[in-house]
């Protein structure tokens, strides 16, 4: 059993702490937010992540996981300290490292015994060296330490599975012994472990996220071309995905990427390139295509409603940037709602999990109790998030409740032929779904 401190109890920190505890380690998770720590001590989760609440409670009950606001308590007897604080987007797209800096300073001022400090936060290339300098400068007494980069590759909605079953573990350090000790922590995961230098490890994270974002923007660009030429982007993606050089993942056309990672990481990588005199043309194209997806939705819905949104009521099914999370960061729903409102529409929404978070950042959007309340007297519905429950809706009932049977399916969850048969004016992404049915839906025999 190793003793581990995790600084920061957001998505990455809390999952990291709970999973290392479940592997049999003693873990103390620290955060300076007293309210958040108090809620965790009461067993209340600050975020929604499937399976996380049960995992945390099990390990707290077993005595392997504890929470604190005290660096002294967290570092007492600790061999490993993970920094897993937020790195939000700065003014020019750069990563804001103020929380990393504060954590490194306080660790330096508090540590009294040898420590391996592990950067788990997504940080710009060169941050490992910077953190080393901060610790060295702020130590009250000279205590041996090493810095290791261990970037996270967790997807919201499946973070626990991703931690416990990683495709690889990436470690970077100038201290081979420290990297080996961190590798030993990860051995129970039975995953390939890549050990490299600090800067290369940091770059692997950014390059990975930028590549996945590129795949998403690429298939959305192909979807636009498919619509113009009469091809089906879903079948195109399947045909592409069988090629092992391409693979099927992240080739689902839709409303683009969002969340806490891809948007800020692509911007940060482009910023780093620009700072060094490079011109990251591909990264800029990826971001532009992604931004255009949100504008496209407003344009398509306006067309479906005869060229004007004025006085219309539009319902959005889904708010979170993806299913199985309550995360609203960079969600397409935010820009789509704003665009609809600018056009004169009244916007309402429903999401199984994210409405509480959405209220704080979308005060002009009316939140509904369920999809059927959302549909009642709506002039159009937009599928924004592909929650499974939306695939099981009673579509005949939905059509009967709507003022106008208009659906824009931003996630391609419905069959165009079925929607046409039910009497909807329906559009989706990159498919031949022309269906302007004005006739009543077919009645059951």
> Sign of the CA dihedral 429, 434, 438, 441?
negative
Q: Is 401 left (phi over 0), alpha (psi -120 to 50) or beta?
A: alpha
Question: Nearest Cα to 186, choosing from 151, 215, 214?
Answer: 151
3-class DSSP assignment, residue 10: coil
Contacts of 381 (CB under 8 A, 6+ apart): 314, 315, 316, 317, 374, 375, 398, 402, 406, 407, 408
Using DSSP bridges, classify how beta strands 80-83 and 115-119 pair: parallel, antiparallel or unpaired. parallel
Residues that are catalytic: 261
Q: How far is CA 25 from CA 17, 28, 74, 79, 326, in A?
A: 9, 10, 14, 11, 29
Q: How far is CA 27 from CA 11, 44, 102, 222, 413, in A?
A: 16, 18, 21, 46, 41
| Residue that is written with structure tokens 């059951």 in the block | 444
Burial class (CB in 10 A: 0-12, 13-18, 19+), 432: middle
Pairwise CA distance, residues 311 & 298, whole Å: 15
Helices (H), 62-175: 71-75, 98-110, 127-138, 159-164
């Amino acid at each position: 059993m190793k003793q581990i401190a995790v600084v920061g109890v957001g998505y990455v920190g809390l999952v990291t702490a709970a999973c290392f505890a479940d592997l049999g380690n003693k873990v103390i998770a620290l955060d300076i937010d007293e309210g958040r720590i108090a809620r965790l001590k009461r067993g209340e989760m600050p975020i929604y992540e499937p399976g996380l609440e049960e995992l945390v409670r099990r390990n707290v009950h077993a005595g392997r996981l504890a929470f604190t606001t005290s660096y002294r308590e967290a570092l007492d007897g600790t061999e490993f300290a993970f920094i897993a604080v937020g790195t939000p987007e700065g003014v020019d797209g750069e990563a804001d490292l103020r929380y990393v800096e504060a954590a490194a300073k306080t660790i330096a001022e508090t540590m009294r015994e040898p420590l391996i400090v592990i950067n788990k936060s997504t940080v710009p290339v060169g941050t490992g060296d910077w953190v080393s300098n901060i610790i060295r400068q702020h130590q009250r007494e000279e205590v041996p330490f090493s810095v290791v980069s261990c970037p996270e590759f967790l997807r919201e909605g499946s973070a626990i599975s991703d931690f416990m079953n990683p495709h690889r573990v990436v470690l970077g350090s100038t201290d081979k012994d420290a990297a080996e000790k961190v590798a030993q922590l990860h051995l129970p995961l039975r995953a390939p472990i890549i050990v490299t230098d600090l800067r290369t490890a940091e770059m692997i994270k950014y390059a990975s996220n930028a590549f996945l974002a590129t795949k998403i923007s690429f298939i959305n660009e192909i979807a636009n071309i498919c619509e113009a030429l009469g091809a089906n982007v879903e079948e195109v993606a399947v045909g592409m995905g069988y090629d092992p050089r391409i693979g099927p993942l992240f080739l689902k056309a839709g409303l683009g990427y969002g969340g806490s990672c891809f948007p800020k990481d692509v911007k940060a990588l482009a910023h780093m390139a620009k700072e060094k005199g490079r011109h990251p043309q591909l990264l800029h194209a990826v971001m532009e295509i992604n931004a255009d997806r949100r504008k496209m939705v407003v344009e398509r819905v306006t067309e479906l409603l005869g060229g004007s949104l004025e006085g219309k009521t539009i319902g959005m099914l889904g708010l979170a940037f993806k299913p199985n999370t309550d995360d609203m960061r960079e969600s397409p729903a935010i820009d789509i709602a704003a665009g609809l409102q600018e056009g004169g529409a009244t916007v309402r929404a429903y999401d199984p999990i994210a409405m509480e978070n959405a209220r704080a950042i979308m005060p002009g959007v009316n939140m509904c109790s369920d999809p059927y309340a959302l549909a009642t007297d709506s002039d159009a519905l937009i599928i924004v998030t592909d929650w499974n429950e939306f695939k099981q809706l009673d579509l005949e009932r939905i059509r009967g409740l709507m003022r106008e049977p208009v659906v824009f399916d931003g996630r391609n969850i419905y069959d165009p032929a079925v929607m046409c048969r039910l009497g909807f004016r329906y559009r989706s992404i990159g498919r031949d779904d022309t269906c302007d049915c004005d006739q009543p839906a077919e009645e059951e025999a």
